[in-house]
């Protein structure tokens, strides 16, 4: 079968990759549609050392087989990406997405979805409601990551929110915040991308320098979805004392954080990664969030390498791969 393989950063479409065989508790899935995200691009740039696997963790697929779980066969599904052992100390405490033994679809020790077929633990799957199209369902994983911002926000955080980053994830977070009754300001560097958000009724502001970022002040909550570690001290400067910074960027870069500013202003910094699938699917089914305006391009799996190149261009939002 075909599979987009990343070998320590080198990308190639393999045409004779062995089809995986599901073990008990796993499902064999046939890809309907996959989305390319910043994490896929970061993996090809060395975000994690020595990663060699099939990429892809945003998908909608059909269940072909599921030994011991035959009722799933034929269902159209999306799936969570972290595997959990179910018995380590973290799993026992409910931290299943942080399982000490975890593997992560298309990211860590588990072949991903940018292939004709791939495996998922059955426990990670969710049926897609009939009224949610493939082009909506393929956004479930990043939309869940966007909902994680609300899950991870302290209840006393306040409502003045500024969101940095007009890319894929920033766009989804802005839509989630707006859908849930907030009025965030989305700050970015790309006029065309900000226009996509503005068309969804989101307040936007174009900036081109650190000084312009720092001109935003006294926010209760700042969210970093810039995809880069560079602006983090400027973003910190936008918060009121005891304000909350939520970090969504996973970057290959390291950065220097101004810790004195964190202590003096008693800021709260929260890392936020994967989020709740049920909430994301419900929002799609109810039409609360429509991610489809984010689709920049569609490519067949045979052109998956080209799809990755296009996804890496600054003007691209979501690039889909459709077998």
Per CB under 5 A, the list member of 64, 88, 297, 322 interacting with Zn ion is 88
Using the contact rule CB under 5 A, the part of the chain among 63-71, 94-102, 189-197, 239-247 near Zn ion is: 94-102
**Distance (Å, whole) CA 314 – CA 309:** 11
Q: Counting beta carbons within 10 angstroms of the beta carbon of residue 181, is it exposed (0 to 12), middle (13 to 18) or buried (19 or more)?
A: exposed
Q: Counting beta carbons within 10 angstroms of the beta carbon of residue 180, is it exposed (0 to 12), middle (13 to 18) or buried (19 or more)?
A: middle
How far, in Å, are 18, 168, 188, 309 from residue 41 at the CA level? 24, 12, 20, 9
Contact 111, 3 (CB under 8 A): yes
**Distance (Å, whole) CA 171 – CA 100:** 31
Contact 61, 38 (CB under 8 A): no
Min separation Cβ 215 and Zn ion, Å: 31
Contact 47, 251 (CB under 8 A): yes
Total of chain residues touching Zn ion, rule CB under 5 A: 7
Instruction: Give yes or no for residue 95 binding Zn ion (CB under 5 A).
Output: no
Residue closer to Zn ion, measured from CB, 88 or 269: 88
Residue closer to Zn ion, measured from CB, 160 or 226: 226
DSSP notation for 121-138 = EGGGEEEPPTTS-HHHHT
Residue closer to Zn ion, measured from CB, 99 or 236: 99
Min separation Cβ 111 and Zn ion, Å: 16
Per CB under 5 A, the list member of 81, 91, 194, 238 interacting with Zn ion is 91
- Closest by CA to 57, choosing from 132, 129, 145, is 145
Q: Counting beta carbons within 10 angstroms of the beta carbon of residue 52, is it exposed (0 to 12), middle (13 to 18) or buried (19 or more)?
A: exposed
Give the relative orientation of helices 140-152 and 277-285 as an angle to the nearest 10 degrees. 110
Contact 321, 114 (CB under 8 A): yes
Which residues in 32-61 contact Zn ion (CB under 5 A)? Answer: 37, 39
Residue closer to Zn ion, measured from CB, 25 or 74: 25
Residue closer to Zn ion, measured from CB, 37 or 113: 37
Residue closer to Zn ion, measured from CB, 167 or 243: 167
Structure tokens at 177: 């915040």
Per CB under 5 A, the list member of 46, 68, 85, 261 interacting with Zn ion is 85
Instruction: Give yes or no for residue 99 binding Zn ion (CB under 5 A).
Output: yes
Using the contact rule CB under 5 A, the part of the chain among 92-100, 108-116, 213-221, 245-253 near Zn ion is: 92-100
Which residues in 215-254 contact Zn ion (CB under 5 A)? Answer: none
Residue closer to Zn ion, measured from CB, 91 or 172: 91
Residue with tokens 């508790």: 25
Using the contact rule CB under 5 A, the part of the chain among 88-96, 170-178, 187-195, 219-227 near Zn ion is: 88-96
Instruction: Give yes or no for residue 31 binding Zn ion (CB under 5 A).
Output: no
Instruction: Give yes or no for residue 109 binding Zn ion (CB under 5 A).
Output: no
Residue closer to Zn ion, measured from CB, 90 or 268: 90
Min separation Cβ 30 and Zn ion, Å: 20
Interface residues with Zn ion (CB under 5 A) are: 37, 39, 84-85, 88, 91, 99
């Amino acid at each position: 079968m075909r599979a987009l393989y990343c070998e320590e950063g080198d990308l190639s479409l393999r045409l004779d990759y062995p089809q995986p065989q599901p073990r008990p508790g796993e499902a064999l899935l046939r890809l309907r549609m996959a989305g390319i995200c910043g994490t896929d691009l970061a993996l090809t740039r060395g975000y994690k050392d020595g990663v060699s696997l099939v990429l892809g963790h945003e998908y909608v697929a059909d269940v072909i087989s599921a030994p011991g779980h035959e009722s799933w066969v034929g269902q159209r599904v999306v799936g969570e990406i972290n595997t959990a052992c179910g018995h380590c100390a973290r799993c026992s405490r409910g931290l299943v997405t942080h399982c000490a033994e975890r593997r992560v679809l298309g990211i860590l020790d588990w072949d991903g979805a940018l292939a004709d077929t791939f495996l998922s633990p059955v426990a990670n799957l969710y049926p897609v409601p009939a009224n949610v199209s493939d082009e909506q369902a393929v956004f479930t994983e990043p939309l869940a990551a966007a909902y994680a911002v609300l899950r991870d926000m302290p209840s006393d955080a306040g409502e003045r929110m500024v969101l940095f980053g007009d890319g894929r994830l920033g766009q989804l977070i802005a839509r989630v915040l707006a859908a849930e009754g907030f009025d965030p300001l989305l700050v970015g560097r790309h006029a065309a991308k900000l226009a996509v958000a503005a068309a969804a009724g989101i307040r936007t502001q174009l900036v081109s320098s650190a000084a312009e970022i720092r001109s935003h002040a006294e926010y209760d909550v700042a969210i970093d979805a810039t995809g880069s570690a560079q602006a983090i001290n400027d973003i910190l400067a936008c918060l009121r004392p005891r304000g909350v910074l939520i970090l969504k960027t996973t970057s290959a870069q390291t950065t220097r954080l101004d810790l004195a500013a964190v202590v003096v202003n008693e800021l709260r910094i929260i890392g936020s990664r994967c989020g709740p699938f049920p909430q994301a699917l419900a929002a799609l089914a109810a039409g609360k969030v429509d991610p489809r305006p984010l689709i920049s391009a569609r490519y067949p799996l045979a052109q998956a390498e080209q799809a990755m190149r296009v996804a890496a261009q600054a003007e691209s939002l979501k690039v889909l791969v459709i077998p």
